[in-house]
Chains A and B, each alone.
Chain A
């Protein structure tokens, strides 16, 4: 929470070193409104995450330093951060954080919220002008929200609160022009926008926050417009995903989530990845390693070498969830809050994008990043390793590292 006064601009020299080159001119920048004609976008990127698995908290300053150290991985067209454990005193309320282009959008959203639940508290999210950033600057608002006890959506009264929130935010993102819900989980929030990672950090004054876990992302988009809403992390409920890669199976993965009631509004592969995590783990109840296996499975020839039980499980996961296979290069850092704040780091099954994991010497901090420099800059003596292709590293508050990312695929999965 507020209180940390550390100034992110202490790293400005470093930022200047990395980003001193002229920014590429972008003809149009979009705020909360989706750019017209956008049907899909993809990226090259830097990702970083850190989690305090003990009792301590992490200042936003730390994640900013991690991310901007990898300055070569961004080009000023988007960066973002997700923080967990931000609002302990409101930990049971959904925190819906919005980008608005105009007041009308805000009114529309508030009308939707008031008609379906109670806004327990709302506040303008602190932002400040950053000279180097180009307009537009959407304004950011945060609502602590409780859905009505007997809520109804599309004639359905059987939806859980979580499913209801999913429907509500997808409805808002798809239908209220000039508004986009960037995060909707409990006790977490997403801070993102169009700019370099250090600019976004300044814009939101991230050092004023501290949390249990941060994950972050800086973008190097290849052929997509600059859009605040399209920056990472992508989030739904308590899930947030930072993704470096290009999913070549986007059309297939999108079919899976749409068949299961998700509505794609941001039109990035990362959005679909986020929904797949929610579908497989929250809705279908798969253990995280099994869900990761669905997204980055072993090859059939390798599955045949597994023990019969594991082979049967592996084949069942592959055939049942074949639309969940994320093809093409990716490395992702995923955050989740339920049942406890958790960081997942996963790379594609050919390991075509970099991913590295680190642990502080006292074991209380766990890091993941695209590059080792991001870990060393904040934890010079960290023990580091790279997870295997397609094998998730899982770290959880209270438990430490649950999986290194080097184990047998189904360690931690009951068969």
Chain B
């Protein structure tokens, strides 16, 4: 086993991570060699030796029975230059070698400001009592679906619930596991996510490609996705699930379609998506039947017809500069819910240029959409889901207070399953068995164990949500949605606070 040979003329890009092996502790069991799907480690001349190409996925460190392996980030080997920083020079070298668009995965790793970290929440003191969720009821039930804004009353004064009530799906917590397709992740990974969603009574996205027949028992907790490739979309498949989402865009790659590298198109994926084995599955950038808002309206109508108005039909859009007006148009086009995906959101594969440089932070997008829909009298007609790097329960609480009914998260769930965010998903050789289709790697992920971890993660988030709402004197999550009065901005840019409709720290009621 040796590291892949460089082609003639390729630049040698310096290694980023160094494996150190404590040969006194090493038992030479070669477990690490088996575990490393990146072939960064080998048994040579009677010793375990690093070969280079380590991505710091941590699999060998984790699996070494002797705890003999450490991974270290190698200090920069480049002469210092603040402008042509190491990241820039590495990109240039890679492109000089390959001549291609640089691919990457996960959410952007650039240290953009995170407004979630620049906001503080309020708490109840004296004038109203805080609520102790261990002793009192604090509700976190959330609904996904369209609303009519008022109840119908018949002439005789009866509250009229018949006719055409907007379909709603109830969830036990305002958390939705985002759309992670079978293809971008393994069978076992998707199974674990769906098991967790069912156990928690929340929703999970199917991702592009439809629901594998084995996963039909989870359909009540699944939102199926209609993406531009239309993979796996049939009338029957849509009707089966709890809701349908038309995916226009994704935060990590606004303006791009789904991107499944050929490395991940295994026999299983080839069958479910009905595409040739080993070919890249590149979904069209736009939906080729949606070139305008009226086209979207037609598709929403068609989908609603095909699901017989029994389940909510929503639209997912990437957060872009004109998000307020776009969201308003989408609601007017008939969406029961809209999902906004911020630019820091994750992906299984995307051009790095788009991931790192396109879109809008989700904090701003949520607030702008909430304000716009309120101004237009539309906010109580729709459910707003928001994702794009919700990393913790604190992010969740702030996203809800900014105006989201439900938050959507993917990366956190994957980290719970073992992901180390090494940003190699697009290579399809995830050593943790998550973003790969290779059977021997997929087998490393036990769906039961992984699902249990996701369940514990979100239960703990939900408990923390209750704790923080209780401290704020709020006993039901709907009273937090868009309650920007209870947020204060604590960052360097008061303009952004103004745009978000959040007061600055130190400002009281008046």
Contacts and interface: CB of A to CB of B under 8 A. Distances in A.
Interface of A: 35, 37-42, 44, 222-225, 245-246, 248-252, 255-256, 258-261, 267, 284-287, 290, 299-301, 312-313, 315-317, 319-323, 325, 327-329, 349-350, 352, 413-415
A44 B508 CA distance: 17
B151 A415 contact: no
A290 B151 CA distance: 10
B157 A39 contact: no
Interface string B120-152: 000010111101000011010101010111110
Contact of A327 (B156, B168, B479): B479
Interface in B370-389: 374, 377-380
Interface of B: 124, 126-129, 131, 136-137, 139, 141, 143, 145, 147-151, 153, 156-159, 161, 165, 168, 170, 374, 377-380, 472-476, 478-486, 503, 508-510
A259 to B, nearest CB: 4
B509 A415 contact: no
Contacts of A350: 131, 136-137, 475
B159 A290 contact: yes
Nearest to A40: B509
* Among A249, A284, A329, A352: residue with most chain B CB under 10 A: A249
A249 B131 CA distance: 14
Given A222-B127, A225-B510, A259 B481 contact: no
A360 B168 CA distance: 47
Given A222-B126, A252-B479, A300-B139, A38 B510 contact: yes
B379 A328 contact: no
* Among B124, B149, B156: residue with most chain A CB under 10 A: B149
26 contacts: A39-B503, A39-B509, A224-B509, A224-B510, A248-B479, A249-B479, A249-B480, A249-B483, A250-B485, A251-B486, A255-B379, A259-B378, A267-B510, A285-B153, A290-B151, A301-B137, A313-B161, A315-B170, A316-B165, A320-B150, A320-B151, A323-B379, A325-B476, A327-B474, A350-B131, A414-B158
* Among B128, B157, B472, B481: residue with most chain A CB under 10 A: B128
Contact of A260 (B126, B377, B485): B377
Given A248-B479, A248-B483, A352-B128, 16 more contacts: A38-B510, A40-B509, A44-B127, A246-B473, A251-B485, A255-B482, A256-B380, A284-B150, A286-B151, A286-B159, A313-B159, A316-B161, A320-B150, A329-B129, A350-B131, A415-B159
Nearest to A248: B473
Contacts of B170: 315
Contact of A248 (B143, B159, B486, B503): B486
Contacts of B374: 255, 258-259
A414 B128 contact: no
A393 B312 CA distance: 38
Given A284-B151, A284-B153, A327-B473, A352 B129 contact: yes
Contacts of A352: 128-129
B474 A248 contact: yes
A63 to B, nearest CB: 26
B127 A320 contact: no
Contact of B128 (A252, A316, A325, A328): A328
Contacts of A251: 482-486
B337 to A, nearest CB: 13
A166 to B, nearest CB: 16
B497 to A, nearest CB: 14
Interface pairs A-B: 5 shortest CB-CB: A249-B479, A38-B510, A327-B479, A251-B485, A40-B509
A80 to B, nearest CB: 20
B122 to A, nearest CB: 9
Contact of A320 (B148, B484, B508): B148
Contacts of A224: 509-510
Contacts of A248: 124, 128, 472-474, 479, 483, 486
Contacts of A225: 510
Nearest to A300: B141
Contacts of B157: 285, 287, 414
B206 to A, nearest CB: 24
A157 to B, nearest CB: 20
Given A252-B478, A316-B165, A350-B131, A415 B158 contact: yes
B379 A259 contact: yes
Given A248-B486, A255-B374, A316-B165, A40 B510 contact: yes
A312 B503 CA distance: 39
Nearest to A329: B128
Nearest to A253: B479
Nearest to A255: B374
A287 B380 CA distance: 21
* Among B127, B136, B157: residue with most chain A CB under 10 A: B127
B155 to A, nearest CB: 10
Contacts of A256: 380
A414 B478 CA distance: 26
A40 B478 contact: no
Contacts of B139: 299-300
B479 A42 contact: no
A250 B509 CA distance: 11
Contacts of A317: 151
Contact of A35 (B143, B156, B510): B510
B159 A259 contact: no
Contacts of A415: 158-159, 161
Contact of A323 (B137, B380, B472): B380
A320 B381 CA distance: 9
A75 B476 CA distance: 32
Contacts of A267: 510
Contact of A246 (B127, B151, B482): B127
